[in-house]
Amino acid sequence: MDARTGGNAAFVAFEHVQKSYDGENLVVKDLNLSIAKGEFLTMLGPSGSGKTTCL
């Protein structure tokens, strides 16, 4: 059992992910995400908020 997903171990997991295009300004900061096998994920947010970058 995995406490992060409340059941099975994560099929996909990101821990403390960061992304910067210029080396200074973070566009993604400290992303933590666990997805169990069979789960679906929807990312909602305004244009330019980093949804595609996270993928």
* Residue at 23 is within a domain: yes
Please indicate, yes or no, if residue 20 is contained in any of the structural domains. yes
Look at the chain and report how many structural domains it folds into.
Answer: 1
Residue with tokens 């080396």: 23
Per the domain annotation, does 54 fall within a domain? Answer: no
| pLDDT cut 70: percent of the chain above it | 85
pLDDT surpassing 70 at residue 39: yes
Q: Please give the model's pTM, rounded to 2 decimal places.
A: 0.63
Range of the domain at 5: 1-35
Confidence of residue 14 (pLDDT cuts 50, 70, 90): very high
- pLDDT band, very low/low/confident/very high, at 3 (cuts 50, 70, 90): low
**With pLDDT > 90 as the criterion, what percentage of the chain qualifies?**
58
Closest listed residue to residue 39, CA positions, set 1, 6, 3: 6
Structural domain contains residue 13 = yes
Contact between 39 and 55 under an 8 Å Cβ cutoff? The reply is: no
Q: Is 5 inside a domain boundary?
A: yes
